[in-house]
Chain A
Amino acid sequence: MSSIHLHYDVSGEDFTRAGEASGLVKKRLKALGYNTDAIRRVAIAMYEAEINMVIHADGGFVDIDIYPDKVEILLSDRGPGIPDVDKAMQAGFSTAPDNVRNLGFGAGMGLPNIKKYTDDMKIDTELGVGTKLYLTVRVNEA
């Protein structure tokens, strides 16, 4: 099946630029005529994951494959890895620093939100090496 591939760098230095890649993907999906529910789910999951990469992993890469019936997103970073994935998946659990909380993040909603808005989510993480997050959002007919 043919797909459109997109690649973005997520800067680890600039917290304020997080969300640019998800904004661009959102625009692209809109232009391609995908339904608003799917676009919203892709954009939210991607933005949360971008924020995670900026807060915890000093940035990384996002690769997106857009198919007619699904959108696949791979987020890779060379951050510290997630010591306890089950804990990180709990709503409300967060290791984000105070300056991030002051900006309205760090509520421990990131990974739970991502799971909620995607149809499939897989985490490959290794301490000291990095984390890969594989997401799939299925596109239902509008």
Chain B
Amino acid sequence: MTVNELIKKLDLAVLVEDDLDREVTDCYIGDLLSWVMGRAPEDSAWLTVMGNINSIAVATLADVSCIILVEDAALDADAKAKAEMHGVNILTTSQNSYQLAVALSALL
């Protein structure tokens, strides 16, 4: 499943677009950045409400396929700029993590 397919099937909006052909093989949910950084599997879709600049660093270091901001959580302007610079896909949805993860699990 690619990020692009995920966007279409889960009806996600795109906030930052980089490589949407990137594969998504897993899913991880969490908002504590230190926790996420150490545990999120590579190539996963990371579901979070943290849209600050440090989230971008964590996404880059953990090498996730995309960040999905759930429940319409805000993306800070400096975080958006950093995501564009480092090539991090960022998507958004009004659904909460549980709802989205349930839908996502049927696709993976």
Contacts and interface: CB of A to CB of B under 8 A. Distances in A.
Interface in A1-50: 15-16, 18-19, 22-23, 26, 36, 40, 43-44, 47-48
Interface string B37-55: 1100010000000101111
Interface stretch (B4-12, B16-24, B57-65): B57-65
B38 A105 contact: no
A104 B54 contact: yes
Contact of A104 (B33, B60, B78, B86): B33
B5 to A, nearest CB: 24
Contact of B38 (A18, A23, A117): A117
A16 B61 contact: no
A105 B34 contact: yes
A111 B44 CA distance: 25
B60 A48 contact: no
B101 to A, nearest CB: 19
Contacts of B52: 103-104
A20 to B, nearest CB: 8
B105 to A, nearest CB: 24
Interface string A50-69: 01000000000000000000
A103 B58 CA distance: 12
B43 to A, nearest CB: 11
Given A36-B63, A104-B50, A109-B34, 20 more contacts: A15-B54, A16-B78, A19-B61, A23-B60, A23-B61, A36-B42, A40-B61, A40-B63, A43-B61, A44-B61, A47-B61, A48-B34, A104-B31, A104-B32, A104-B55, A107-B32, A107-B35, A113-B34, A113-B37, A117-B38
